[in-house]
């Protein structure tokens, strides 16, 4: 199994975290996203239907989009799968927290758009964090009693909350949930898992 990913990509981190937690052997191929698309390695661009990381090559299968990859891994291994609630959270992530947090971070650190755009992105992020926090009330994991790909997906970017000046303890249920994930055997942060080899 081969995973194309990058160090600042929480979407890639989700997939590598699954592989690390489940102790699945694979090759991690670092893609430098600072390179323009035309300068990225030809093997990656041939595999990446949307030109983005992550991409997983599993035998004859080439799979793009982090949540589709997580679902494939869960189905294949029988690990971290769940019921309909898992699908709900994967879909919510793709449109909400997996949009708002990376886009706000990208805008704040690299893109630096007009203040109105920043206000819009921050407003959306704070709203999403409130929804997530509310849904974690009294729960250790998002869908069921143990870790599923819903948790791996929705927590992918949370490691970088500090980077964007958000205090995770302002969202106590999220803080508790993240600590549950950080305490899992074989857990490693993106600074280690995604580092350029």
Binding site for ligand GSH (CB under 6 A): 9, 11, 33, 37, 51-54, 65-67, 102
Shortest separation between residue 9's beta carbon and ligand GSH, angstroms: 4
| d(C-alpha 94, C-alpha 128), whole Å | 12
- Tokens for 151, please give them: 């948790």
Residues in contact with 7: Cβ distance below 8 Å, sequence separation at least 6, in sequence order: 30, 190, 194, 195, 196
Encoded tokens for 76: 């294949």
What the block records as the tokens of 173 is 């249920």
Minimum separation from the CB atom of position 66 to ligand GSH (A): 4
12 touches 66 (CB < 8 A): yes
Nearer to ligand GSH, 72 or 139 (CB): 72
39 versus 145: smaller Cβ distance to ligand GSH:
39
83 burial level (CB within 10 Å; 0-12, 13-18, 19+): exposed
Cα angle for residues 36, 40, 44 (degrees, 5° grid): 140
CB of 67 to ligand GSH, least distance (A): 6
Report in angstroms how near the CB of residue 15 gets to ligand GSH at its nearest. Answer: 8
Q: Minimum distance between the CB of residue 98 and ligand GSH, rounded to whole angstroms?
A: 6
Nearer to ligand GSH, 21 or 69 (CB): 69
Please say which residue, 67 or 155, places its beta carbon nearer to ligand GSH. Answer: 67
Which CB atom, from 103 or from 173, has the smaller least distance to ligand GSH? Answer: 103
CB-nearest residue to ligand GSH: 52
- Rounded Cα distance, 84 and 130, in Å: 22
């Amino acid at each position: 199994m081969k995973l194309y990913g990058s160090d600042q990509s929480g979407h890639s981190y989700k997939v590598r975290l699954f592989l690390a937690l489940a102790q699945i052997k694979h090759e991690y191929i670092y893609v430098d996203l600072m390179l323009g698309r035309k300068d990225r390695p030809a093997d990656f661009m041939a595999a990446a239907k949307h030109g983005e990381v992550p991409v997983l090559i599993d035998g004859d299968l080439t799979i793009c989009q982090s949540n589709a990859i997580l679902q494939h891994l869960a189905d294949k291994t029988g690990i971290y799968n769940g019921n309909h609630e898992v699908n709900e959270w994967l879909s919510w992530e793709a449109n909400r927290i997996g949009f708002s947090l990376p886009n706000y971070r990208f805008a704040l650190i690299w893109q630096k758009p007009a203040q109105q755009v920043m206000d819009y992105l921050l407003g959306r992020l704070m709203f999403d964090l409130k929804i997530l926090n509310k849904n974690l009330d009294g729960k250790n994991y998002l869908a069921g009693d143990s870790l599923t790909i819903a948790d791996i997906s929705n927590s992918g970017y949370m490691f970088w909350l500090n980077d964007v000046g958000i205090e995770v303890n302002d969202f106590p249920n999220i803080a508790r949930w993240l600590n549950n994930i950080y305490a899992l055997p074989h857990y490693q942060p993106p600074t280690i898992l995604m580092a350029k080899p």
